[in-house]
Structures are given as structure tokens and as C-alpha cells.
Amino acid sequence: MESWNPPPRPTEHAEKALLTAILDGSYPPGSTLPGERDLAAQLGITRPTLREVLARLNSDGWLTIQHGKPTRINDYWREGGLNVLSALVRFSNSLPSDFIPNLLVVRLDMAPTYARLAVEQDAKQVTACLLDSVEIGDSPEAFASFDWRLHYALTVASRNPIYTLILNGFSGFYEQIACQYFRHPETRQASRQFYRGLLTAAQDNDPASAERITRIAMQESLRLWENL
């Protein structure tokens, strides 16, 4: 028997359709959705199912339910929450062109801090992870996989679980973008240099050096991405 994928649940179908319409500009910020009866019919779902989906999108900041008034589409960049980020990742075909550079700027802000904390809290764990970098194969996929594992390990070792939660929001998408980045030999070379420097800082139990080395590496990765 051939393998097959089960059809999406009505809530998943409706959420995907609405988010796609918001992201592609069919429902821009400030606009309103059709009435509940018409929208449910357009989506091919029941009104209770539609209410469930709208309540979820309301809580995430995509829209605002106004009792007695049409549902308003929010400016999700200003009014959305962390769940907006995970949805943007899931619908990456609709991402604005400056999303990846902005994401790298956020990583530049966070990574030096969680690298310093990781070396402060658990230099042995950081060292153990970085020792694996010696064996990385020279392929985009190998580098993308290791880079994800390294940053995940650093957030865990930092003992601040918020960093890990934020990073987990980009699971899968991180490696997808990293594979594009690591297609270029100069990016792989720059990362090897970063891994070696961070390994030395961890072995020396030097949190300040770990922070400085990571900041330089994140600045370089942003520069390379913009040039490439």
C-alpha cells in the first residue's frame, strides 16, 4: 500500500489559510475580516471551529476580536507575541526580505551573552560540544547541523531557559537557512575559526573571551550573509 498523508484538521487548514492571507497582504494590518458566517463558509469549516481558530490568533497577537464589531487584523510586528515568530518560520515562503538580517541582529545581541554564561556555568559541557567541531565534514548540511547543536548547547549551559525557548522557536528553520549560508567556503572557514576560538575560551574557563569571540563571529556572519 502506498504511503499517504492524512488531510489536515479543520483548525489547521483554517489557521494556515488565514495566516497566509495576512502574510501575503490579502488582509493587511488595519483591515477587517468578513463576518463569521461568510468567513466560515469561505474556509469550508463550521462556525465553532472558526471561533476556536480566531481565539488562538487573537491570543497570539495576529488579530483583535472586537465584540459587536468586525475582527481587526493587527500590525503583528508591533502587537504580536513569540508565537508569531514560530508562525513566521512555518510560513517562511512569505517572510519579508529583511527578516533574516533582523534575525541575525537579534542573534548578535543574544549569543555573546549566552556564550559567556555557558562558559561561566558549565565550561566542560561547552568544551565537550566544541570538540565535535574537529570532525565536521566540509558540507553545508554538516555545518548547519553542528551550528544548531552548538547554539542549543550554549543556551542550555547558560542555565537561562528563556534563551533555549527562543532558539527552539526556530528549530528546523535555523538549519534550513544555515544550509544556504554554509554553501559558501568562506562562511565555513569563518565558522571553523569561531569554533576553535570558543573552544580555547571554554578550555581556559574564560567567559569574557567567550563573549568577545562570539560577538566578533556573529558580526562576521551578519556581514557575510549581507554580502552573499
CATH of the domain at 84: 1.10.10.10
Residue 202 lies in a domain: yes
Q: 50: domain range?
A: 10-92
What's the CA gap between 104 and 119, in Å, rounded? 22
CATH of the domain at 162: 1.20.120.530
Q: How many independent structural domains does the chain possess?
A: 2
Residue 3 lies in a domain: no
Find residue 32's DSSP bridge partners.
72
Pair (145, 106) in one structural domain: yes
Pair (46, 148) in one structural domain: no
Please give the chain's pLDDT, 228 residues, in tens: 455 555 568 899 999 999 999 988 899 999 999 999 999 999 999 999 999 999 999 999 999 998 889 999 999 888 887 788 778 877 767 677 788 888 899 999 999 999 999 999 999 999 999 998 888 999 999 999 999 999 999 999 999 999 999 898 888 788 888 999 999 999 999 999 999 999 999 999 999 999 999 999 999 999 999 988
Of 13, 5, 4, 228, nearest in space to 104 by CA:
228
The answer to whether residues 123 and 202 touch, using CB atoms and an 8 Å cutoff, is yes
CA angle, 79 as apex, 73 and 84 as ends, to 5°?
85
Q: Where among 92, 121, 136 does a domain terminate?
A: 92
Q: What is the predicted pLDDT for the residue at 126?
A: 97
Pair (84, 175) in one structural domain: no
Pair (197, 123) in one structural domain: yes
